[in-house]
Structure 1
Amino acid sequence: MTASQQSSTIYRWELPTWRTRLLERTGGPDGARFAGLFGFAEGDGSVRLAAALFPPEAEEPLILETVLPAAELSYESLSPSLPAGFWYERALHDLFGVEPTGHPRLDPLLLPLTDPAHAPLPGTARRPRPLTPDESAIPRAVTGHGVFTIPHGPVRSGVFESVEYLVETPGEDIPRIQIRVFHKHRGVSKSFEQRRPAEAVLVAEHVEGIASVAHALAFCHAVERLAGIDVPWPARLVRSLHAEFERVANHLDVMVKLTDAAGLAVATARFALHKERVLRLVGGLCGSRFGRGVVVPGGVQALPALGPYDLDQELARLHRGIGSDWRAAMNTPSFLDRLRTTGSLDPVLARAHGALGPVGKASGSAPDARFERPYDAYTSLGLGPLVEETTGDALARTHVRGREIEQSFHLLRQITEELRYADAAESMVTPVPGDLDGEVAGWAEAPQGEVLYLVRFQDGRVARCVPRSASFHNLVLLHEVFAGDILTDFPFIEASFGLSIAGVAL
């Protein structure tokens, strides 16, 4: 039995023991990486809490569970001892009415609810009535002479997602920033419910549009692990092909935003052109610029519409153009000056939080599911050395993305070579049984970092699906990186994180 067929290890304890074991497991430099805290509503009104951890060298997550009875939906907050749980506990409060007593700041995060009785309880039939956001929900914390709050968003100039940053400042320095994402909340988790896998993967593709392939992969990996099926090798190649194209497009988009913030009009146009060429190539391969419709439970829809030889020629042209312009930008002193020392994330904090993707890799914390828990074609492809920096600033995050693009082209060339031997007549899908029942985890590495799905199936349909994006896990760190920076650094810091608000406000 392969790693992709094994079930996640689940331990269930009474509440006091659960809390103790969780903090023990995540404590110390050699502790398990905290990957999230999630809720499951039970039929009797109780709420099951599930903490996902990745012990060092583990090939699958460790799930620690406990049950809160309906009469007492509360527990001692983990956040004072486990700061990485800060947003997860706020989300539990918003969605399930669970009260983490002693939480440092239990403001609304995903939903502006003032009455826990109106919580939507994902996994049940409850549909809460729409509520108007409470504009006084987040109190002002920084006081002093001349201190004021700048409400930046939720609607901003240009094409930006709906998020509100409350910047508390005396004029230039940024001592504190608060983030409100509930303007974007779409109830995605409930949209999965009662769907069969072939339908649910279409929801997964729309959880976070800029990481459509990664979310589809994470969901399908969960289905395939529960079903105990293997994906045909050509389909695994096609999956990895689209995942790497998605990575290149996302990193180019970050560069577009960074050069635009720096006023480099030519560089902005060039990187936007390269991104558009990547998206058009992806559209030519599968019919969707975002790679939607490619990944299905058990495999993929079909081989790429473009043959390996033509694809190889396109890759060579893209690689030359992107590489040339990237080097030019990274040799522009005025651009480097805006990135260097801007938005620095302390490596100690990054490791303690388990920071993901380029944000973590730029601060010496480099979890990457393609290396640690390989899937699809990554089990055989030569990935090369792990990309990592240590300074943790916007420049380091940009360096990480530049090297990841190089790595992606290296992988794409390998995949294209392998696809020369793929037989178009060979099946691209392994059938999935229609009677799936149980709980399972699935994962994939998005351009932003690890995507994690916890899914419960009953009678072949999704009873509860918890999609956790790297954007949700990482965005809370934005609070921590403004020390010593000023207002004009804000667009560089935000862009260098490269996250999606849609992936946060689920």
Structure 2
Amino acid sequence: MTGPREAFTVPRQDLPAWRTRLLELTSGTDPARFAGLFGSAAADGSVRLAAVLFPSQAEEPLILETLLPAADLSYETLSLRLPAAFWYERALHDLFGVEPTDHPRLDPLLLPLTDPAHTPLPGKARRPEPLTPEESAIPRTVLGPGVFTIAHGPVRSGVLESVEYLVETPGEDIPRIQIRVFHKHRGVSKSFEQRPLEDAVLVAERVEGIASIAHALAFCHAVERLAGIDVPWAARLVRSLHAELERIAHHLDVMVKLTEAAGLAVATARFGLHKERVLRLVGRLCGSRFGRGVVVPGGVHELPALGPREIDRELARLHRDITSDGRAAMATPSFLDRLRTTGPLDPLLARAHGALGPVGKASGSAPDGRYERPYDAYPSLGLGPLPEDTSGDALARTQVRWAEIEQSFRLLRQITEELRETPDTDALAVPAPGDLNGEAAGWAEAPQGEVLYLVRFENGRVARCVPRSASFHNLVLLHEVFAGDILTDFPFIEASFGLSIAGVAL
């Protein structure tokens, strides 16, 4: 970078002009990709709305802003014209009381039900009074003889995150599913406020455990774009090294869940072993199994504890073993039968929504920040062709993940070769100024897809930080993929999406 570069923010517009401009930019023959809609409350009760778009031919994201006065926190919903805004508007309603009029469904998403009559309160009595089912607590839209609702979660068997799926079914088919993620809400955006840069990075690393590196990168990229920092080459290599190891670990975790759902005990154990080996390698490189502490504003904390040749030897053994077991799993007829044609995501819907990561790539929608807007070492690395498919089912999503694992090993070999040629005396970080002011957007490609951060700084401290994970953007599509599938397909569809509920309920 040659100087400070903020995201291109259009001068704040009045509400009708903002809505019209937003819908114009996201429609037509070459629409901008809708990346998110975020809110920020002021002391006087007003709420600033910021829509982030990625125009197809622009290097920087476009931010459209408007202000809702405290006296009227309402506007005509975008969701009927821009379906990708559906969950973003529900989040605004939960967090700021914003009312998108005529929204298809404004029941709670990020915050729990506020009426205590809807939920039993533990510890009130040894023998609680019988609860009368309250229809407004579990709304139903699928009606007919024998139709009932299965409240699947928030506590489920196994080591799974807290999420509630309300499945409306006549017995086996799944005509409709509702998703409630508020059991995991932690108030992450508020946790960033008034923190200095060094502390804010620690919060970013803990937003989504399986994507710690990606979140730290997205936050630091926003800082570096605002400050005009040019990250040293050695630091760029180390960042990319950890990002690709994180990608491999996540995709192996998805394989653990898929093979477990199929009852393949040996495959489950093998992929769990390989994931553990990757995490232990990361721990040997930096002291943290999740890569925490590696990424800092302006670069990295230190070089890997292992030398490039030793890293290469470890990677070669991992690549050989993972590839062997992957081929065996993907040649198992009973496993493939459970994935093929299961949970198909229509390519037209995927493109219209801007589906991210393997979910989007498996349905012909393939935004990938490493290709579209490359960062760190990626502009100089040979990424190869973009892994993608068009069939859109669970099998296609799994095949995309295997293509990305193979791609990650190729990139890691390039990175270690570059590290061998890089003097140990090279700088690893450029200090960020202590008086940052302004707003910037940063992004990184997590294993689940694009992570986006919109950050505003005042006198070197975070005034507002809104992280948007690929999990939040993609999970809403789970509603759309159950047509023709049955209850026993549920674990395969959920696992094939590879998303993190903690990354949704921020």
TM over 0.5: yes
Which residue is 1:284 aligned to?
Answer: 284
Alpha carbons 1:35, 1:53 under 8 Å: kept: yes
Which residue is 1:442 aligned to?
Answer: 442
Which residue is 1:122 aligned to?
Answer: none
Q: Distance in 2 between matches of 1:80 and 1:233?
A: 46
Which residue is 1:130 aligned to?
Answer: none
Which AA in structure 2 matches 1:429? A
Alpha carbons 2:79, 2:85 under 8 Å: kept: yes
Q: Distance in 2 between matches of 1:422 and 1:164?
A: 49
User: 1:170 Cα deviation (Å)?
Assistant: 0.3
Which 5+ residue runs of structure 2 have no aligned equivalent?
A: 116-133
Which residue is 2:6 aligned to?
Answer: 7
Alpha-carbon spacing, 1:282–1:146, altered in 2? closer, same or farther (3 Å): same
Alpha carbons 1:94, 1:111 under 8 Å: kept: yes
Alpha carbons 2:213, 2:295 under 8 Å: kept: yes
Which residue is 2:213 aligned to?
Answer: 213
User: 1:416 Cα deviation (Å)?
Assistant: 0.4
Matched, 1:176 2:200: no
Alpha-carbon spacing, 1:276–1:433, altered in 2? closer, same or farther (3 Å): same
User: 1:448 Cα deviation (Å)?
Assistant: 0.2
Q: Secondary structure at the match of 2:421?
A: coil
Which residue is 1:496 aligned to?
Answer: 496
Which AA in structure 1 matches 2:274? H
User: 1:29 Cα deviation (Å)?
Assistant: 4.3
User: 1:137 Cα deviation (Å)?
Assistant: 4.0
TM normalised by structure 1 equals 0.95
Q: Distance in 2 between matches of 1:166 and 1:79?
A: 22
Q: Secondary structure at the match of 1:49?
A: strand
Q: Distance in 2 between matches of 1:62 and 1:275?
A: 38
Q: Distance in 1 between matches of 2:53 and 2:146?
A: 44
User: 1:113 Cα deviation (Å)?
Assistant: 5.4
The list of structure 1 runs, each at least 4 consecutive aligned residues, that deviate by more than 4 angstroms after superposition, is: none
Q: Distance in 2 between matches of 1:378 and 1:343?
A: 32
Which residue is 1:370 aligned to?
Answer: 370
Which AA in structure 1 matches 2:7? S
Q: Distance in 2 between matches of 1:41 and 1:440?
A: 18
Task: State the identity %.
Answer: 83
Choose 87-96 or 53-62, whichever is displaced more. 53-62
Q: Distance in 1 between matches of 2:61 and 2:329?
A: 40
Alpha carbons 2:434, 2:460 under 8 Å: kept: yes
Alpha carbons 1:34, 1:54 under 8 Å: kept: yes
Alpha carbons 2:437, 2:458 under 8 Å: kept: yes
Q: Distance in 1 between matches of 2:308 and 2:135?
A: 55
Which AA in structure 2 matches 1:10? T
Q: Deviations over 1:35-77 (max 9, x none)?
A: 0000011232111100011111322211111000110000000
User: 1:262 Cα deviation (Å)?
Assistant: 0.5
Alpha carbons 2:5, 2:227 under 8 Å: kept: no
Alpha carbons 1:345, 1:481 under 8 Å: kept: yes
User: 1:135 Cα deviation (Å)?
Assistant: 8.7
Which residue is 2:85 aligned to?
Answer: 85
Q: Secondary structure at the match of 2:250?
A: helix
Q: Distance in 1 between matches of 2:379 and 2:462?
A: 28
* Counterpart mapping for 1:232-271 below 5 A: 232-271=232-271
Choose 20-29 or 229-238, whichever is displaced more. 20-29
Q: Secondary structure at the match of 2:57?
A: coil
Alpha-carbon spacing, 1:135–1:417, altered in 2? closer, same or farther (3 Å): farther
Q: Secondary structure at the match of 1:284?
A: helix
Which residue is 1:28 aligned to?
Answer: 28
Q: Distance in 1 between matches of 2:441 and 2:135?
A: 37
Alpha-carbon spacing, 1:430–1:241, altered in 2? closer, same or farther (3 Å): same
Which 5+ residue runs of structure 1 have no aligned equivalent?
A: 116-133
Alpha carbons 2:112, 2:183 under 8 Å: kept: no
Q: Distance in 2 between matches of 1:226 and 1:13?
A: 23
Q: Deviations over 1:177-218 (max 9, x none)?
A: 000000000001100010011110000000001000000000
Work out the number of aligned pairs and report it.
Answer: 487
Alpha carbons 1:94, 1:113 under 8 Å: kept: no
Alpha carbons 2:218, 2:453 under 8 Å: kept: yes
* Counterpart mapping for 1:453-464 below 5 A: 453-464=453-464
User: 1:280 Cα deviation (Å)?
Assistant: 0.4
Which residue is 2:360 aligned to?
Answer: 360
Which residue is 1:303 aligned to?
Answer: 303
Q: Distance in 2 between matches of 1:5 and 1:489?
A: 49
Choose 36-45 or 433-442, whichever is displaced more. 36-45
Which AA in structure 2 matches 1:443? W
Q: Secondary structure at the match of 1:420?
A: helix
Q: Aligned-residue CA RMSD in angstroms?
A: 1.2
Q: Distance in 1 between matches of 2:440 and 2:241?
A: 25
Alpha-carbon spacing, 1:9–1:372, altered in 2? closer, same or farther (3 Å): same
Q: Deviations over 1:115-167 (max 9, x none)?
A: 9xxxxxxxxxxxxxxxxxx9944411111100011111100111000000000
Q: Secondary structure at the match of 1:376?
A: coil
Alpha-carbon spacing, 1:16–1:114, altered in 2? closer, same or farther (3 Å): farther
Which residue is 1:203 aligned to?
Answer: 203
Alpha carbons 1:147, 1:171 under 8 Å: kept: yes
Q: Distance in 1 between matches of 2:29 and 2:348?
A: 10
Q: Secondary structure at the match of 2:366?
A: coil
Which AA in structure 2 matches 1:332? T
Which residue is 1:112 aligned to?
Answer: 112
Choose 54-63 or 383-392, whichever is displaced more. 54-63
TM normalised by structure 2 equals 0.95
Which AA in structure 2 matches 1:283? G
* Counterpart mapping for 1:389-428 below 5 A: 389-428=389-428
User: 1:5 Cα deviation (Å)?
Assistant: 4.4
Q: Secondary structure at the match of 1:473?
A: helix
User: 1:82 Cα deviation (Å)?
Assistant: 0.5
* Counterpart mapping for 1:460-479 below 5 A: 460-479=460-479
Which residue is 1:335 aligned to?
Answer: 335
User: 1:315 Cα deviation (Å)?
Assistant: 0.7
Alpha-carbon spacing, 1:384–1:5, altered in 2? closer, same or farther (3 Å): farther
Alpha-carbon spacing, 1:377–1:163, altered in 2? closer, same or farther (3 Å): same
Alpha-carbon spacing, 1:226–1:377, altered in 2? closer, same or farther (3 Å): same
User: 1:112 Cα deviation (Å)?
Assistant: 2.5
